[in-house]
Structure 1
């Protein structure tokens, strides 16, 4: 669905009597790491923790796009698009602007970055109160072999405020504590962490204070579900015990790792996936202080979920070897093929061709109806000039494509021994030549159904080159 700037201006999202969540989505990458032993001589310990792992072509921008495309495609956002992360691909440039372009949002939708470990809860709060759309996305990387390497993970969650189908806000409270717990200096890649035994008590105290005040504002003594997110595992465990949590959130965290700014959103999305209308939820995020939300689940919570459930995404993940993970993260320097680096994209053509590069737009011919990709002045089917009429642009990013030919590149500069490149016919018209991701190249076959996914192709001269790849279509893509 293309968002019309005029429609957004003339038909703003109506705000409900009570602030709340109108729609939500979560995105877990396709891979999971269960073992980080360099010298493994046997299988990993059964029941051990696992971490959610983003592919080598994913970052917080692409994770946010995957979560938000479900929400923004159905519910036109308000006046702001918020991106909360601690690992933005650019320092000085606004990463939310790239997300804005990939979603094809109207120019009057303001895109804003929020940074810091607490920014996920802040973005959720702003979305609930103002009707904005928020993406909470993080990609967590530690030094190889760090004690909490498997306890960190990658994920994204998206929320559209300005409605009450998913949940209504009953109470909200915050608590700020200046404590040196997790930090990273400019130019550093990995977080530094203070001994969690010292900071756990500080965060637990802040969390209990915020939770009690939020419950008092909601005029509740107890809730049906307790969801706790904390950058400190000891604090999270203490808060769950004190607040009477069931442990479902802890079980999910053990399967994904702590996903940084995305974690409160991921845990809330998982709770909403199974909650019944009328139930109450206490969401508590204890990071650099605490943020507490008391929510009542809305009657339209089932319709409010966009995209696959968290449980379905967990079940669909592929196991990942530790060596492959280290290569993807650039933590293991391996000699690749003697091939020049891909050229860096330039600013003027990226701006002029934004419709193709970010929105995957083709041009539909007014004479024969065929779709030309990339869009051009001449129809690829009938040769009529003028096929690049702006009014005839059509986005292919939400359509299914069928593979008609497969090639494997064994000289790729990507951190993989080979990648698959396909030509695919798009349902409704258009043909794409694209890299394939999230599937072994040997498993790509002619006739396979694919769907576009926004990814990072490569980085050259400090410029990230984003475009659309194809990944295998799943049954949950139709949700």
Structure 2
């Protein structure tokens, strides 16, 4: 790694859904102009969103580096959730996978990316009690970063710790508890201003071109933006996504890098349980450094979600499901033996006819040749477009939806997939539709999460620096 630390590549992932109305009684007047929160689908969690954010930028992570997952909503407690992300990305076994927990974990992960060349995903699914005052002010998202120099160079970094009861959650609880924000704002603002001023001094700068503020306390965020001369662009993104927990500083930084010209200076300040301030210089290769669509392009492409559907997805509304047994729990031995198929969607290419068999098998599904004595090539289908050849609508699904689509699709370059469709109404799935694999949670049984790949409609990829939708 270069002696001068920074960011080589970055990406953001916003779920396909947005919630802007929490009325249980439709006769009540809607609240116009209120905040909007990003909503992860029922089959998404911190692990799946981390995979989506990292999949296009982390493939070349070398052995000896670290893969970090920063979150407050890890799907497992004792088990390392970053290990699942590592397996789904197909990284070198020499890459160490680690979890970072807590609201400050996002800033800590960024610090390790910038100063130690780590690869990190910051991902969170935020849930409040129905009717909570900040229900629309919390949101779900992920951001990912790889250490290097193309996107940005670190000029200074200063941290301040302040032990304060701001947001917390006891083991076994689902929702954060929050202290009166008027009390904690004063503490966080003091820590944030001190960290920001010290970082600017360390960078030998009086001002910066752009100020980005993330805070678990909205009152503190507003005060810090005002004191530091922020433009409000970060506040506009936050109003469209909600506070996304550990992912939030990374999400706001990704949005800033999307639009910042090379050479511009950025002050990123995260005020949570203290403060972390970073001063960055945008790199000459920032446009080529982004993986996937920009933050604004993803905001413009979201679907509006109804409140009742959101409550069902989160398990906050107990609804009678179909009279059928629960799906069986996966077992550890076959999950380990079939990791290439389960986590990386790898098929086997026949040495004789060149066709791809999925799931991978000893015998070619096309020509019937037994390839057990040959070195059959493994081919991953996770980044290929697949086109629907048939679709079935399942009305007895155990998922929190009245029906789901099950599709058979042929992958470009060979290989046939049978998978659930997601992020699309079942009736909209038609023969010939292009779809792309996405890593999702199928179901949870006996305290075991069953992850596999589903298919979603292909999103038009935006060329770096040339957004087709800017969210305006």
Q: What is the TM-score of this pair, normalised by structure 2?
A: 0.97
- Which of 306, 309, 318 aligns to 2:291? It is 306
Range 385-394 or range 132-141, more displaced: 385-394
State the alpha-carbon separation in 2 of the partners of residues 75 and 83 from structure 1: 15
Shift of 1:75: 5.8
Tell me, yes or no, if the aligned pair for 1:366 and 1:387 is still in contact at 8 Å: no
Report the Cα distance in structure 2 between the residues aligned to 1:203 and 1:475, rounded to whole angstroms: 40
Question: How far apart are residue 43 of structure 1 and its match?
Answer: 6.0
Contact 2:329 2:446 in 1 (8 A): yes
Tell me the alpha carbon deviations over residues 380-417 of structure 1, each in whole angstroms, 9 at most, x when there is no partner. 00000016956500000000000000000000000000
- Displacement of 1:47 after TM fit? 1.7
Write the mapping of 1:409-448 to structure 2, written as runs, cut at 5 A: 409-448=394-433
- 2:212 corresponds, among 201, 222, 227, to 227
Report what 2:316 is aligned to.
331
Change (3 A) 1:404 1:478: farther
Task: Name the residue aligned to 1:122.
Answer: 108
Residue 218 in 1 paired to residue 203 in 2? yes
1:40 to 26, 49, 56: 26
CA distance in 2, matches of 1:75, 1:420: 35
Query: Following the alignment from structure 1 to structure 2, what is the Cα–Cα distance between the partners of residues 126 and 447?
Result: 44
What is the CA-CA distance between 1:474 and the residue it aligns to? 1.4
Judge which range, 379-388 or 119-128, deviates more.
379-388
Give aligned pairs, total.
464
Residue 5 of structure 2, aligned match among 11, 19, 30:
19
* 1:282–1:248 Cα change, 3 Å: same
SS at match of 2:172: coil
Distance in 1 (alpha carbons) for counterparts of 2:394 and 2:36: 31
**Compared CA separation, residues 105 and 309, structure 1 to 2 (3 A):** same
How many Å separate the matches in 1 of 2:374 and 2:218? Answer: 56
Match of 1:204 in 2: 189
Could you tell me which runs of 5 or more consecutive residues in structure 2 were left unpaired when the two chains were aligned.
465-472
Check the 8 A contact 2:214/2:252 in 1, yes or no. Answer: yes
Distance of 2:90 and 2:178 partners within structure 1: 38
From 76, 80, 99, the counterpart of 1:90: 76
CA distance in 1, matches of 2:97, 2:214: 26
The answer on 1:370 being equivalent to 2:355 is yes
Q: Is 2:443 aligned against 1:462?
A: no
Alpha-carbon shift at residue 46 of structure 1 (Å):
2.5
Aligned equivalents of 1:356 and 1:478: distance in 2? 30
Name the counterpart of 2:162. 177
CA contact (8 A) 2:66 2:118 kept: yes
Indicate if the aligned counterparts of 2:61 and 2:91 stay in contact, CA closer than 8 A.
no
* Secondary structure in structure 2 of the residue aligned to 1:374: coil
Residues 112-171 of structure 1: CA deviation (Å, up to 9, x unaligned): 00001100000010011111100000000000000000000000000000x211000001
Query: Structure 1 residue 293: deviation in Å?
Result: 0.2
Give the TM-score normalised by the residue count of structure 1.
0.95
